[in-house]
Amino acid sequence: MSGLSIGTVYFSALEFFGVWLYLLVALAAGWVILAILALRAAPPADRGKPRFIALLAGIAAALLTALLLPLWTDASFRHIAVLADYVALIGGAVGIGTAVGVALLPVLWLAGRTRS
More confident residue, 115 or 7: 7
- Which one, of 108, 86, 105, 107, lies nearest residue 97 by Cα? 105
Distances (CA, A) of 30 to 27, 82, 104: 5, 39, 12
Residue 11 clears pLDDT 70, i.e. is over it: yes
The pLDDT, as a whole number, for residue 2 is: 61
The pLDDT, as a whole number, for residue 43 is: 66
Residues 71, 48: contact at Cβ < 8 Å?
Answer: no
- Tell me if residue 32 falls in helix, strand or coil: helix
Query: Region 3-17: what's the mean pLDDT?
Result: 80
The pLDDT, as a whole number, for residue 1 is: 44
* Per-residue pLDDT tens digits for 33-78: 887 887 777 666 667 788 888 889 989 988 888 888 777 776 666 6
Query: Region 2-23: what's the mean pLDDT?
Result: 79
